[in-house]
Chain A
């Protein structure tokens, strides 16, 4: 069993557990005194304000904030102490949407989505909808956390689920520092389990992708170079294979914002994000083709806005009243955290965008 490193901000009753406090920090200081431009004024420079939603391609559903890990940089502030879990009733409302959506990708996330007691039922039902790419974001260690999860690889295979898993580095020290003691060894074991049934193998249709996000206050390097280094190290050290690596930038919210402030890196990090601003990335930023659904069924432009409690700017607010036509063309709700998705080659749940 993986040891948990810390408690969530919520459990610690930290100021930063409140989304309005996070938004306040992101709007004040260097952005208020004009040292750095706000995201709104930056995208206005290249005539990209207001940012508008295009046709929906990805439906991302957060089935709960409960997790067996307490990763240092988690933007969800997930952990074993979080009790927000999607009910079967909300899942049924999601299923209606999944059956009727024009989206080609269904993306289940959490917390550890597998910890939702209705997760398997939901996957079985959702898989029947015939969505082209059905993603489950698995933290890997859940597969080894308890006997009842040991058959998850087989379950994923049965429903042709595309597994996307976090792996901050190919070395134990850096991975455990970010994700908790013992996470690296357990993740390696879980990857071996997935490889053993065909996941991630070169000619296999069973997709296994890894997500890299930096272990500290710096931006990710080139995705292709990192993928090469990850592949080389994981093959040489553990004989593990996977398909693609998605390099994701840490957004300055929740526990990562807490870390940036505590380590006195906040201002430098925001400078780095703003300096790396890439207008090309804005064109393909994920909120323009994604809808994020929270555990209680509310709709957001992305998972980050969900955590900041910034709902979609639309008449439609809840999955029960979902209407793709009404959501298309909505103005995306933005703040300074959005710089995280437009830095360098950009960042999304599917990696770089530019």
Chain B
């Protein structure tokens, strides 16, 4: 227990901040993933073959290639890409991108591929009659989408999105290879300096379990909220 004391003598406060960091990265990544899903879901559902191809390539590649490889691509390639874009605008100094942004972006792209599939499945399983009924009621495009389709999509998507959230949360442990101090990295540092890896990695496992447990409870509430009337 001494090892977990707050302050200078223990690792309690460090691990606490690391947990907050894990939560922050996960939420940011999930949000970036939603943005990607917002772009790629319509492409997947579109009748245009070319747009279909783009969206399918995105989801197939991301879901077929290991997360770690994607993270290495961003970690080693991110700086180069940003500097290349900056050099077009005439800025030639060295730019270092923050590990948080690189990590959240890499995990976000992965999470986005899963979210895209979830939203596609949810929209496709909405009864055709709902679209027709909305048309009959004379709703415009936005009313139809936001008032009729989206609430039903959310109800169908939430159980699967909670899986995506779990995957995203666990994937953030991989960002530790880039040096961002989240749970895994902090445990690595603590294990190294105290020579007690068994304790710190087990404690990291407990922290992750706690995060998944609490988030499942919260998501269950959302599920209840969106399925009222069913």
Do A and B truly interact?
A: no
Binding site for B on A (CB under 8 A): none
